[in-house]
Amino acid sequence: MTAYPSTVVFSTGNIITTGRTIAPLEKSNQELINSLRQNFKEASDINRSSDTKVISSLPAHSGIASWIQEKDETLYVPGLTEPAGLNEEREEYDITVKLFYLPDVPVSERCTHTRIALDYVLEELRVAYIDLLIVSFPNISFDAEDLSSNTEPSNEEVEEWIQTYKTLEALHSQGKIRRIGLAEFGVARLEKILPNTNIKPSVDQINVRDCCVVPKPLIRFAKEQKIELLTHNDCTNILPSSSLHNLLQEDGTLFSHFKNIDPQWVIKYTAVIQDRGVVENKG
């Protein structure tokens, strides 16, 4: 029996062009799941007449829909299409990318995941580099941590951050990233990682949903280190395994062979036309 690929790549496509209305208060995890669902539906509708076909490289009994594609031992849901790229010249855009490392994934795999995830975005947008890559580590959040005495990161955590950050620096040196950003780093975390960097992060993105105000110690520290502070409202875990499993179970026949799928990472990108402030591509 032919083995199924061990890797699956799910894509929302460009949610700006899908026609899906995004509720103003929709959480980032809901936006992701709803956008995936919409993209699956559109791909299925387009190929409705051929849904009974299977990928030629898979066994005939696989039952996998024709709009799901296998390439290089990876399943793409929906299948790969010719990237549309951007409408204007590359210099007209500000492209921000955020990479979420998900819980329970070995740190040793993050470096590979980072390169793979970024390459997907570069290929999708048909560009050679992005302006800003922000990385979000699992199991950390920002809740005015600077005012707490219990937020000193462990040596193990710091080593994990440094190991990952070296990959970001390598991508920066290769010209694929113009700026590096971190998420949820207060003073305690920044003080640990900064001495171990060759290329300092230029952005620190924090969630102030709970504390409402950026702590003054962080404001002073960021100013001293020339780090730009940005805010966000992303969920701490943007794609829990249960959410993905529930989505795939909505169509028991279509995804009947997708068993024990555990999310490894999520990458989110936004391409904004700078002079007009218009989001052209988001996914």
Q: What are residue 125's DSSP bridge partners?
A: none
pLDDT of residue 51: 42
- Note every long-range contact of 83-88, with CB atoms under 8 Å and residues 24 or more positions apart, other chains counting: 83/123, 83/124, 83/125, 83/126, 84/14, 84/126, 85/125, 85/126, 85/127, 86/125, 86/126, 86/127, 86/271, 86/280, 86/281, 87/280, 88/273, 88/280
pLDDT of residue 178: 98
Identity of the residue numbered 254: L
192 pLDDT exceeds 90?
yes
Domain boundaries defined on the chain:
87-282
Residues ≥6 apart with Cβ < 8 Å to 49: none
* pLDDT per position as a tens digit, 254-263: 676 777 788 9
* pLDDT per position as a tens digit, 207-224: 876 556 788 999 999 999
pLDDT of residue 144: 60
pLDDT of residue 53: 43
Distance, in Å, from the CA atom of 136 to the CA atom of 145, rounded to the nearest integer, reads 16
Q: How far is CA 132 from CA 11, 190, 205, 270, 277, in A?
A: 21, 18, 12, 10, 16
Residue whose C-alpha is closest to residue 118's, from 104, 105, 132, 108: 132
pLDDT of residue 210: 57
pLDDT of residue 52: 40
* pLDDT per position as a tens digit, 115-166: 999 999 999 999 999 999 999 999 888 766 555 445 678 899 999 999 999 9
Residue whose C-alpha is closest to residue 204's, from 184, 189, 223: 184
pTM, 2 dp:
0.89
Q: How confident is the model at residue 59 (pLDDT cuts 50, 70, 90)?
A: very low
Out of 79-83, 154-158, 183-187, 274-278, least confident range? 79-83
Residues ≥6 apart with Cβ < 8 Å to 55: 62, 64, 66, 68, 69, 70
269 pLDDT exceeds 90?
yes
168 pLDDT exceeds 60?
yes
Cβ neighbour number for residue 143 with a 10 Å cutoff: 16
184 pLDDT exceeds 80?
yes
Q: Tell me what the mean pLDDT of segment 219-244 comes to.
A: 92
196 pLDDT exceeds 80?
yes
Beta strand 74-77 with 69-71: parallel, antiparallel or unpaired?
A: antiparallel
85 pLDDT exceeds 50?
yes
Q: Tell me what the mean pLDDT of segment 247-271 comes to.
A: 83
